[in-house]
Amino acid sequence: MVLKFRFISNEQDNFVRDFEILADQTFFDLHMAIQGNLHFDKSQIASFFICGQKWEKEQEITLFELTEEESARVITMENAGIKDHVHEVHDKMVYVFDVFNERMFFIELVGKNTRDASKNYPVCCFEKGQAPQQLLMDHLFGTPNLSDSSILEDYTDDPGLDLQIYDDEFPDDY
The CATH number covering residue 90 comes to: 3.10.290.30
* Structural domain that includes position 160: 137-166
Clarify whether residues 71 and 142 are in a common domain: no
Clarify whether residues 150 and 123 are in a common domain: no
Clarify whether residues 46 and 70 are in a common domain: yes
158 to 94, 107, 112: CA distances (angstroms): 24, 28, 43
Clarify whether residues 124 and 141 are in a common domain: no
Q: State pLDDT tens for residues 91-124.
A: 999 999 988 888 899 999 999 999 999 999 999 9
Q: State pLDDT tens for residues 27-63.
A: 999 999 999 999 998 888 899 999 999 999 999 999 9
Clarify whether residues 148 and 97 are in a common domain: no
Model confidence at 132, pLDDT cuts 50, 70, 90, reads confident
Clarify whether residues 143 and 120 are in a common domain: no
The number of distinct structural domains making up the chain is 2
Clarify whether residues 38 and 112 are in a common domain: yes
Cα–Cα dist 76/59, whole Å: 11
Residue 149 pLDDT > 50, yes or no?
no
154 part of a folded domain: yes
172 part of a folded domain: no
Clarify whether residues 8 and 75 are in a common domain: yes
Clarify whether residues 93 and 142 are in a common domain: no
* Pair type for strands 16-22 and 123-128: antiparallel
Cα–Cα dist 16/6, whole Å: 7
Clarify whether residues 146 and 107 are in a common domain: no
Predicted local confidence at residue 148, as pLDDT: 39
Residue 164 pLDDT > 90, yes or no?
no
32 part of a folded domain: yes
